[in-house]
Amino acid sequence: MTDFGAVAGADQLHVSTHPLVREKLTRLRDETTPPKIFRELVAEIATLLLYEATADLPTDEREVRTPLAAYKGARLKDKVGLIPVLRAGIGMVEAALELMPEAQVWHIGLFRDERTLRPISYYNKLPSSATVQVCLVLDPMLATGGSATETVDILKKWVAERIKFLGLIAAPEGVERMRKEFADVPLYLAALDSHLNEIGYIVPGLGDAGDRQFAT
Ligand code: PRP
Ligand code: URA
């Protein structure tokens, strides 16, 4: 992960430098990559990011017997919630469930208004108070930051104790907005790109993450 010492809230910004992430992300960006391979790459990169993002989760002791002896091992102490932001976050959630089969999944439905670029909420079935201690927000793209800040705002009102954001590609504008509004939420990213274009797309980016996954 790259050290962004000069950036505000830099200790909360983790951008992967792993060769496997960089290689997979390059194939993901390629405009000739078909939806099936695109979905596989989203899941594979999500797995690699999750490995980093969960490295500090607390554990309890768990005792088991091997065929030879008793062994004091570990189990996750906290309940984990996966928060995929629809639609594009769907591609990351199966990968997360492979690693944490007991995690709860709470979908949040948002889409960006194409004109204002503001997020419009259309799905939220969260119960009235938090049922997990750790929330992992899953959304491949952090562009203006509108969708991510809206999601974190919902989770804060839910009184979630710890929130982390996992994304594949971010624009500096989105990172800056998250840093300003939610400096306590760490960002785990596969890449931090150059800028947003005039219609709010990340450049160089990969285009529309939802459309490319679902062939729309
Ligand atoms: C994409 C992406 C994020 C959002 C990022 O979703 O998955 O949720 O845009 O942009 P922002 O940082 O400017 O809010 P989109 O609105 O295209 O919806 P979709 O996943 O349903 O296609
Ligand atoms: N949403 C996407 O899917 N791609 C972008 O570049 C920006 C927002």
pLDDT recorded at residue 126: 92
pLDDT for 84 beyond 80: yes
Indicate whether 98 belongs to any domain: yes
Q: What is the pTM of this model?
A: 0.94
Indicate whether 64 belongs to any domain: no
Indicate whether 99 belongs to any domain: yes
Indicate whether 62 belongs to any domain: no
Domain that holds residue 156: 2-57+75-214
pLDDT in tens, 95-120: 999 999 999 999 999 999 999 999 99
Asked if residue 166 has its Cβ within 6 Å of ligand 1, the reply is no
Q: Which tokens sit at 123? A: 């799905």
Count of domains for the chain: 1
- Kind plus residue range of the DSSP H or E element containing 79: none
Atom of ligand 1 nearest to the CA of 196: 13
Mutate to test the pocket of ligand 1, among 141, 142, 175 (most ligand atoms within 8 A of CB): 141
Instruction: Point out the ligand nearest to the CA of residue 214.
Output: 1
Indicate whether 11 belongs to any domain: yes
Q: Which of 91, 114, 186 is nearest to 148 (CA)?
A: 186
Alpha carbon of 112 to ligand 2 centroid (Å): 9
Which residues are tagged catalytic?
112, 116, 208, 211
| Residue with CA nearest ligand 2 atom 3 | 208
Burial class of 58 by CB neighbour count within 10 A (0 to 12, 13 to 18, 19+): exposed
Indicate whether 69 belongs to any domain: no
Indicate whether 68 belongs to any domain: no
- Give the Cβ contact number of residue 55 at 10 Å: 9
Give me the CATH number covering residue 89.
3.40.50.2020
